[in-house]
Amino acid sequence: MSDMVLKIAELRRLTTLLLDAVERRHGARIDLSRWNVDYYWDIPLQAAFDMDNDPAQHVGCGQVSDDLADLHGAPDRSKNDDVILWHDLMHLSGLLRALANVDLANTA
């Protein structure tokens, strides 16, 4: 079995374990406005995985409040098959990075 095979069931299980740990440590609701996590550096997907070129020219800015707003509408979009999966996963990634930053700040 290759180490590069992603099993969605394993990812789901790990995600649940980690989110359960976040909830135990930080509570069921995290007021992200209390933390300095709204804006973050962002690199487009293609640039992030292009190891032949310097990504510096592609660095942009992401926003956690935008990630939250966009994902709040995701369940309605999924009912209409309007999910743009890569787009929603990028917003989810921004929120997960914000959670990681909140946890890191608590351990410093």
The structure's pTM equals 0.86
Look at the block and give the residue holding tokens 């999966």: 85
pLDDT in tens, 17-48: 999 999 999 999 999 999 999 999 999 999 99
pLDDT in tens, 40-73: 999 999 999 999 999 999 999 999 999 999 888 7
CA-to-CA distance for 88 and 67, rounded, in angstroms?
A: 8
77 touches 83 (CB < 8 A) = yes
Give the per-residue pLDDT at 17.
98
Beta strands (DSSP E) in 49-104 are 60-63
Please give the helix or strand (H or E) that residue 40 lies within, else none. strand 39-42
